[in-house]
Amino acid sequence: MTTKPRNEVAVKAARTASCRKRQLKDFLRHCDRKGYTAPERQVMTALWVHTPNGQNGAADPSAMCWPKVGTIAALSGVTERSVTRILSALSDAGEVWIARPSRTRGLAGRLQIGGKDLDRGVNVYVLVYFAPESELRAWAALVSKGIRVEGAGLAKYVETPAKGAEVSPRAAAGGQP
C-alpha cells in the first residue's frame, strides 16, 4: 500500500492556521487578564482579524491594520459610535495606537507607515500587544512628521534630539517642526 505525499501548501496552511489559533488564544487570555469587557474584546479581535500577522502563510510581523469603523462595528456586533468610544478607551489604556493622518493640512497624497502606502485620511491602528519594538519606534517617528498618533505609552518610544542638535524655534515652542 502506498501513501500519497502530503501537499506542501496544505501542510504550510495547516501550520499557519495552528499558529494563528494559538496567537488568538494568547491574545484573548491577555484581554482576560486586563479585565476587558465583551465589547472591548470583540473590537480588539476585529482589529486582530485585519492584521496581516501570519495570514496565508506570510511571515509579516506587522500588527498594523486600517479597517473602517463600520467594518469593525459589523465584525464586533456593536454600533459605530460604541466602536469609536471603545477605540478611544483602548487607546488611553495603551492597547491600541491610532494614527489619524489629516487631509486638510496640505498632506495630500500617500502616507507610508511601516513600508505600506496608504491613503491619507485613513485611520491606521496598531495592536501594541503584537507589535515588534521596531514597529513601535517607527510609529513614534510619525509624530515628528506631523501625523497625530494617539495612544498611551507612545512617549517611551519617541526619540529626543541629540544634545547640541538644532531644534527649530517652532518645534521648541511645542509646534510641528
Dihedral pair phi/psi, residue 166, rounded to 5°? -75, 135
pLDDT interval class at 126 (50, 70, 90)? confident
Q: Is pLDDT of 73 > 90?
A: yes
Q: How many angstroms separate the first and last alpha carbons of the chain?
A: 73
Distance CA 34, CA 28 (A): 10
- Confidence band of 3 (pLDDT split at 50, 70, 90): low
- β-sheet bridge partners, residue 64: 126
**Mean pLDDT (whole number) for 96-120:** 65
Query: Do residues 69 and 80 touch, judged by C-beta distance below 8 A?
Result: yes
Beta bridge pairs of residue 116: 113
Confidence at residue 43, expressed as pLDDT on a 0 to 100 scale? 94
pLDDT of 142 reads 79
Distance of CA 147 to the CA centre of its chain: 15
Higher pLDDT, 92 or 110: 92
Summarised one tens digit per residue, pLDDT across range 131-173 is: 888 888 888 887 777 777 888 888 888 765 555 445 444 444 4
Is-contact 135 64, C-beta < 8 A? Answer: yes
| 68, 76 Cβ separation under 8 angstroms | no
pTM, rounded to two decimals: 0.72
| Residues 157 and 97: beta-carbon distance below 8 Å | no
Cell (9 digits) for 71: 467594518
Residue 2 burial (C-beta neighbours within 10 Å; 0-12, 13-18, 19+):
exposed
User: Which pLDDT value is given to residue 132?
Assistant: 80
C-alpha cell at 98: 491610532
Chain Cα centroid distance, residue 23? 16
